[in-house]
A = this chain, B = another copy of it.
């Protein structure tokens, strides 16, 4: 049987309502894995190695009945409501990047890294860059510009290209080492190293607070 009546906060607060819909364990991480396009059941499992199959099945059912996910041709995709969760995930990334206890050596899915970069990019000072990524065989393209950030699956034959394990590329992006010291090791970098460094300099796990007003007063 379906759970008939799911656990609810029973509040009129819209944040509580949101948490009624996507507050269950794994739910937002499933959204994360689907944000760049539909995925098959096994691909979802590969991106969420900690989830067990029956929990993923249950989550997908619940999220489908909540209107966030729908079964598609060979797998599952987000509905527009599900895609609307990107700002939530982005806010989580920007907050979580500043919190201690983060262990970048733990498993990271290619989608998770690419989305975290979209969340953490200082796009207001971004020049135009076209960058291809190949992370454990999965291809992505990033195009930055002043105030804009485009991220898609697939390759574009961009002048810059990173390839390697997701965690290794994450170290290149967020770690302290300059690109010319990183590239030789676990990842492969193609393109101009100066522009590659300029691109990587856009990303930091610790977001500058925006400068003006404290968060508690405005926002």
| Copies in the assembly, this chain | 2
Task: Say whether A102 contacts B29, CB under 8 Å.
Answer: no
Chain B hits for A106, CB < 8 A: 10-12
Does A67 sit at the interface, judged by CB under 8 A?
Answer: yes
Complex Cα distance A88/B219, Å?
11
Instruction: Assess whether B94 is in contact with A87, with CB atoms less than 8 Å apart.
Output: yes
Contact with A29, one of B15, B50, B100, B112 (Cβ below 8 angstroms): B15
A18 to B29, CA, bound (A): 11
Q: Could you say which of B13, B88, B107 contacts A116, with CB atoms under 8 Å apart? A: B13
Chain B residues within an 8 Å CB radius of A87: 91, 94-95, 215, 219
Q: Is the CB of B86 within 8 A of A88?
A: no
In chain A between 36 and 74, which residues have their CB closer than 8 angstroms to a CB of chain B? 50, 67
Q: A175: shortest Cβ distance to chain B, in Å?
A: 12
Write the chain B residue with the least CB distance to A94: B87
Cα–Cα, bound, A216→B116 (Å): 14
> Is the C-beta of A104 less than 8 angstroms from some C-beta in chain B?
yes
A12, B107: Cβ atoms under 8 Å? yes
